């Protein structure tokens, strides 16, 4: 048992980094700051509690693409969720079509605004 302190310290450092890098929305049972305080002030008990109760499923350092469950978007606008990296257009034709639709929508909004201002000036 001479290496017990070293093992506790390694576990503590791992859990500390894992809590800090975990996604706020994926942390279970308690807010992330509470987990951080538990791990800092109760190294062994807090680290074990984090691993078994607080750690996001499939999250943290060892989660990601290979482990755990995939996170499914529940947002109506998943393109605005925070994600690492940037989404690239997969199909240039679809990208050109999207830009054309944006231009048409912007021109329609400008036309409606001009008409509204014209009506307001007539009164």
In sequence order, what are the residues at sequence separation of 6 or more whose Cβ sits closer than 8 angstroms to the Cβ of residue 23?
56, 59
pLDDT tens, residue by residue, 49-66: 888 888 777 654 454 444
What confidence score (pLDDT) does residue 70 get?
47
What confidence score (pLDDT) does residue 114 get?
93
Neighbours of 37 (CB within 10 A): 14
pLDDT tens, residue by residue, 94-114: 778 888 889 999 999 999 999
Structure tokens at 120: 């307001």
CA–CA dist 110, 116 (Å, integer)? 10
Structure tokens at 51: 């691993």
Task: Please determine, for residue 11, whether its predicted confidence score (pLDDT) is greater than 50.
Answer: yes
Query: What predicted TM-score, i.e. pTM, was given to this entire model?
Result: 0.46
């Amino acid at each position: 048992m001479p290496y017990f302190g070293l093992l506790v310290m390694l576990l503590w450092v791992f859990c500390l980094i894992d809590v800090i890098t975990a996604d706020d929305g994926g942390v279970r049972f308690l807010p992330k700051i509470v987990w951080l305080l538990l791990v800092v002030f109760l190294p062994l008990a807090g680290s074990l509690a984090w691993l078994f109760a607080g750690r996001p499923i499939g999250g943290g350092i060892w989660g990601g693409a290979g482990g755990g469950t995939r996170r499914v978007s529940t947002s109506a606008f998943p393109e605005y969720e925070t994600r690492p990296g940037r989404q690239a257009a997969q199909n240039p034709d679809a990208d050109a079509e999207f830009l054309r639709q944006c231009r048409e929508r912007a021109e329609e909004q400008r036309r409606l605004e001009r008409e509204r201002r014209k009506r307001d000036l007539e009164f």
